[in-house]
Amino acid sequence: MKKKAELVRKIVAEVLEVEESEVFDETDLVEELDADSMMALEIVALLEKELKITIPEELLEEMTSVNSILKLLEDLKTNVG
Amino acid sequence: MLVKEGKKKSLTFNEILEILPQRYPMLLIDRVIEINDKEAHVVKNVSGNDPFFLGHFPQQKIFPGVLITEAMAQASIVLLANSNENAQEELDELPLLYRTNIKFLDVVTPGDQLLIKIELQKKVKNSAIVEGKVYVKERLVSSGILSFTKKVFEG
C-alpha cells in the first residue's frame, strides 16, 4: 500500500510537471496543481501500465487527489477480487 | 467509413486521403500496411525531392524531427478512426495533439523508408494516448508517446 502511494505520487508529479514534494495526500490536483482532463487520462494510462489494471472511464472525475486515486485503486481491487 | 465497412487490414494512399484532412505538403504517410483496433503499421517514403529539404538543410538533407512527429500523429489519426465505433463522429471530429514526448535516436535522410508502428495505449470518449516507434529497416530512429484530444470543427 505504501509502495502504491509512492508510485501514484511519482506518476502524478511526472504528468503535472511538479516536484514530488509538492504533491501531498490531500492536495487537490485540479484546484491546486491545475490538472485538466487530459492529464487525468495520462495518469490513468500510466497507472494501468504500471499496475497492469484497467480503470473505467467513469472514474476519471473521481481522481482529484492522491488519496482519492488510492481509494479508487483499492475499490477496483476489491471488486475484482 | 472505408476502414469500417470491410474491416480492411491495409490501406492505400487514396484510402488514407479519405481519412486524413491533411494535404500536400503536409501529408506525411504513404501506405498503411497493417491495421487493427489496437495497432497500425504505416510506411512513409522519404524522398530527396520533398519540399522541406530545400531548407532543412541546404548543405545536408535531414528529415525534420517535427515531421517524424507529424507522421506519427497522422498514423495515429488513421488508427483512431479505425478503432472508432461511431462512424459519424469521425467526420466532425479531428484528434489534435495535446502533448508529445518523443526521442529522436538517429537521423533520417533521403532514400530512407520510415516504418511507423503505433500502438493504442488508452482511449476514452474525447481523448487518446498512443505509443509510437519509427524504424528505418531494423534501426529504431524515433520513439515516444503522443496524446490527442478531439476537437469538433464546424463548416
We report the CATH number of the domain holding residue B86 as 3.10.129.10
The answer to whether residue B75 is domain-embedded is yes
Query: Exposure pattern of A62-80 as b/e (b: 16+ CB <10 Å)?
Result: ebbbbebbbebbeebeeee
**ipTM higher than 0.90?**
no
The domain ranges of chain A are: 2-70
Count of domains in chain B?
A: 1
Residue B96 contacts A where some CB pair is shorter than 8 Å = no
What is the number of other CB atoms lying within 10 angstroms of the CB of residue B139? 11
B36: pLDDT strictly greater than 70:
yes
The answer to whether residue B4 is domain-embedded is no
Domain containing B41: what range? 13-149
**Are B33 and B42 within 8 A, CB to CB?**
yes
Which whole number is the average pLDDT over B144-149?
A: 96
**Are B126 and B67 within 8 A, CB to CB?**
no
Q: What pLDDT is recorded for position B85?
A: 67
Which among A37, A45, A60 has the least Cβ separation from residue B129? A45
The answer to whether residue B7 is domain-embedded is no
**CB-based contact B147 A41, cutoff 8 Å:** yes
Nearest alpha carbon to residue A48 among A18, A14, A76, A13 = A76
Question: Residues A38, B100, A34, A51: is their CA dihedral positive or negative?
Answer: positive
**Are B40 and B78 within 8 A, CB to CB?**
yes
Q: Which CATH number fits domain A2-70: 1.25.40.10, 1.10.1200.10, 3.60.20.10, 3.40.1260.10?
A: 1.10.1200.10
pLDDT band at B88 (very low <50, low <70, confident <90, very high): low
Of residues B151 and A7, which shows the higher confidence score? A7
| pTM for the predicted model, two decimal places | 0.86
Q: What pLDDT is recorded for position A78?
A: 78
B144, β-bridge pairs: B102, B132
**CB-based contact B122 A60, cutoff 8 Å:** no
Residue B129 contacts A where some CB pair is shorter than 8 Å = yes
**Minimal CA separation from A57 to chain B, in Å:** 6
Residue B122 contacts A where some CB pair is shorter than 8 Å = yes
**Are B104 and B64 within 8 A, CB to CB?**
no
